[in-house]
A and B are shown apart, each in its own frame.
Chain A
Amino acid sequence: MDQVKHIWLVLSGKGGVGKSSTTTQLALTLVEKGYKVGVLDIDLTGPSLPRMFGVEDKKVHQSSAGWVPVYTDSTQKLGLMSLGFLLSDRGNSVVWRGPKKTAMIRQFMNDVVWQDLDYLIIDTPPGTSDEHITIAEVLKDIKTDGAILVTTPQEVAAADVRKELNFCRKVNFKVLGVVENMSGYVCPHCSECTNIFSKGGGEALARQFDVPFLGKVPLDPRFIELIEKQNILEGYKTSDLAKVYEGIVDKILIE
């Protein structure tokens, strides 16, 4: 970890709000800005990152120094590590109780050869349990920039994210800000924007806890299509969301 300059965590109390989508986009935006980026997926029972980046068929290699992350291309600007790369079949379940998850995360934090990284982004599962306690313990003695919290606008999600904010306070993670994901959907037929999951929940949350609000990210079927077609690495730069994330990353970097 001495070779890593900055560590960001992506957290949310709620599942399915877009932690992995956010992680993916933060990473791509930072790479676009010229940084060398690593992404670590500690969602062990539901690893989405290999699918997100369209590199599901790649495997992690073992070198004498440790695990070599999966690089998205030959420039090695973006390295990924996920349990998804270690499974023999993508449909296999990882049925592990807490102690085994804890050991795996410790191994990920100790044994991956990241080489020199500007940013390491850690994607997490929902909740405040084994994975989160472990990562907080491991990071206690490592300089961490802080956490980015992802929510969707509706109260059911924001309620869980408030718990995550309290978790951050307890373990002394600085909150870099809140992203409101799935904020509005523009109908492709009539261009009317519908707030499928209500609106404003993330912004209100940021205000309540006095943490930065990083921005609203709309539901964009073209982004989902890029992931479904496994084309994000080429297609993201020119998508509408790339501009939104540029704004979000700039806000984090200014702090």
Chain B
Amino acid sequence: METPPEHCPGTESEQAGLADACAGCPNQEICASAPKGPDPDIPAITEALRDVQHKILVLSGKGGVGKSTFAAMLGWALSANENQEVAMLDLDFCGPSLARIMGTEGEQIHAAASGWTPVYADDNLAVMSIAYMLPNSDEAVIWRGQKKNGLIKQFLKNVDWGNPIDYMLVDTPPGTSDEHLSINQYMSPSGLDGAVIITTPQEVALLDVRKEIDFCRKAGIRVLGLIENMAGFVCPNCQGKSDIFIPTTGGGKQLAQELNVPFLGSVPLDPRIGQCSDRGENFFEAFPDSVVTTALNGVITQLNAQIRGIPTP
């Protein structure tokens, strides 16, 4: 694939093919002669998402803080109510973890006349990920942003979710780049509730999360709240509590206050979460009485209040 020039105005721009940056680009003529104006796929996406009531992004500037783990937990918690249909979309094409965490690794999606049929982790919990499309799970997806944008569109347009969806949860890769810009651009015409942002307590992570919140502000995405994950560790041997990722700058709570976004709660580090993720088990069912379950339930209650627009204390 050809690399677009550095200051490519974008194919939907009035300047496409005409800007200074377009000089020498192999696609210049196509861009200059193609019809301008808004992306024609967006009305189709808006139509496809018409029956989706709530759309929530799970974001973090930092990798490995637990975006997919939290997305999975939220999916399980919401689908515990059998009257709610939940759909999950994994936009991390280079490192799709959701399939394994949801216990659906090795499954394949089916193409029907009505579109792709997602994989069901439960009767009312559908998952869509690139992991279901790879011939072998170790295959690297070596794609530039442009190509990823194409698949995001297809995920939004061509998946046959069956029933009307109550909640669509979108898991994202770390950063503030193509996937994040595109999902907002494609989804916001049909109404995006907002984003849940995950962090860990130490400043190295908070630094990147600040950037993500800055991105949400610039992009006009509502921040539903900040969750602090891996906050404190309880030794399974002596029950003594210690901080592995030390919140020297006040952790997630202080950052939420500083940036004036809702703080949804802290979730401690528990080795059993990782074990459940590796095995694709539902943590809530496996350990209903754990401290983590209590903390997560608290977080999800707060999040629900934010989604419904109820102010939290």
CB of B79 closer than 8 Å to a CB of A:
no
Given known pairs A93-B212, A187-B238, the reply for A224 and B219 (CB within 8 Å) is no
Closest to A137 in B: B3
Structural contact, B177 and A15, CB atoms closer than 8 A:
no
Complex interface: chain A residues within 8 A of B61 (CB)? 45-46, 93
Structural contact, A156 and B219, CB atoms closer than 8 A:
no
Structural contact, A16 and B62, CB atoms closer than 8 A:
yes
Closest to A84 in B: B207
Q: Which of A16, A51, A163 contacts B140 (CB 8 A)?
A: A163
Interface flags for A203-239 (1: CB within 8 Å of B; 0: not) read 0000000000000000101001101110000000000
Structural contact, A163 and B243, CB atoms closer than 8 A:
no
Q: Which of B137, B144, B208, B274 contacts A133 (CB 8 A)?
A: B144
Complex interface: chain B residues within 8 A of A38 (CB)? none
Known: A91-B214, A98-B177. 5 other contacts (CB 8 A): A98-B178, A133-B144, A163-B94, A166-B139, A228-B246
Structural contact, A14 and B64, CB atoms closer than 8 A:
yes
Structural contact, A130 and B233, CB atoms closer than 8 A:
no
Within B196-244, which residues are at the interface with A (CB < 8 Å)?
A: 200, 202-205, 207-208, 210-212, 214-215, 218-219, 233, 235-238, 240, 242-244
Within B127-144, which residues are at the interface with A (CB < 8 Å)?
A: 137-144
Number of interface residues of A (CB under 8 A): 65
CB of B38 closer than 8 Å to a CB of A:
no
Complex interface: chain A residues within 8 A of B180 (CB)? 95
Report the tally of A-B residue pairs with Cβ distances under 8 A: 221
Nearest CB of B to A83, in Å = 11
Of A65-73, A114-122, A140-148, A193-201, the one contacting chain B is: A193-201
Closest to A50 in B: B207
Within B1-52, which residues are at the interface with A (CB < 8 Å)?
A: 3-8
Structural contact, B95 and A48, CB atoms closer than 8 A:
no
Structural contact, A156 and B174, CB atoms closer than 8 A:
no
Structural contact, A129 and B174, CB atoms closer than 8 A:
no
Closest to A13 in B: B95
CB of B278 closer than 8 Å to a CB of A:
yes
Closest to A98 in B: B145
Nearest CB of B to A62, in Å = 19
Q: Which of B5, B139, B211, B244 contacts A185 (CB 8 A)?
A: B244
Of A28-36, A100-108, A244-252, the one contacting chain B is: A100-108
Given known pairs A189-B240, A194-B271, A197-B274, the reply for A229 and B144 (CB within 8 Å) is no
Q: Which of B64, B100, B218, B278 contacts A17 (CB 8 A)?
A: B64
Q: Which of A17, A167, A228 counts the most chain B CB atoms within 10 A?
A: A228
Structural contact, B175 and A45, CB atoms closer than 8 A:
yes
Complex interface: chain B residues within 8 A of A194 (CB)? 233, 235-237, 271
Residues on A close to B: CB < 8 A?
13-17, 20, 45-46, 48, 51-52, 90-103, 125-130, 132-133, 152, 154-157, 159-160, 162-167, 170, 185, 187-190, 192, 194-198, 219, 221, 224-225, 227-229
User: Complex Cα distance A128/B142, Å?
Assistant: 5
Structural contact, B176 and A45, CB atoms closer than 8 A:
yes
Q: Which of B8, B139, B177, B275 counts the most chain A CB atoms within 10 A?
A: B177
Q: Which of A51, A155, A163 contacts B141 (CB 8 A)?
A: A163
User: Complex Cα distance A52/B207, Å?
Assistant: 11
Complex interface: chain B residues within 8 A of A48 (CB)? 204, 207-208
Complex interface: chain B residues within 8 A of A17 (CB)? 63-64
Closest to B237 in A: A192
Interface flags for B133-167 (1: CB within 8 Å of A; 0: not) read 00001111111111010000000000000000000
Complex interface: chain B residues within 8 A of A133 (CB)? 142, 144
Structural contact, A163 and B6, CB atoms closer than 8 A:
no
Structural contact, B242 and A188, CB atoms closer than 8 A:
yes
User: Complex Cα distance A119/B164, Å?
Assistant: 56
User: Complex Cα distance A170/B140, Å?
Assistant: 9
User: Complex Cα distance A100/B269, Å?
Assistant: 37
User: Complex Cα distance A152/B173, Å?
Assistant: 18
Given known pairs A126-B174, A163-B139, the reply for A228 and B242 (CB within 8 Å) is no
A-B contact pairs, 16 of them (CB 8 A): A16-B200, A45-B174, A46-B63, A91-B211, A97-B178, A97-B181, A99-B145, A102-B3, A125-B63, A156-B68, A157-B64, A159-B138, A170-B140, A196-B269, A219-B244, A228-B202
Structural contact, A99 and B235, CB atoms closer than 8 A:
no
User: Complex Cα distance A92/B42, Å?
Assistant: 29
Closest to B61 in A: A46
User: Complex Cα distance A100/B148, Å?
Assistant: 16
Complex interface: chain B residues within 8 A of A157 (CB)? 64
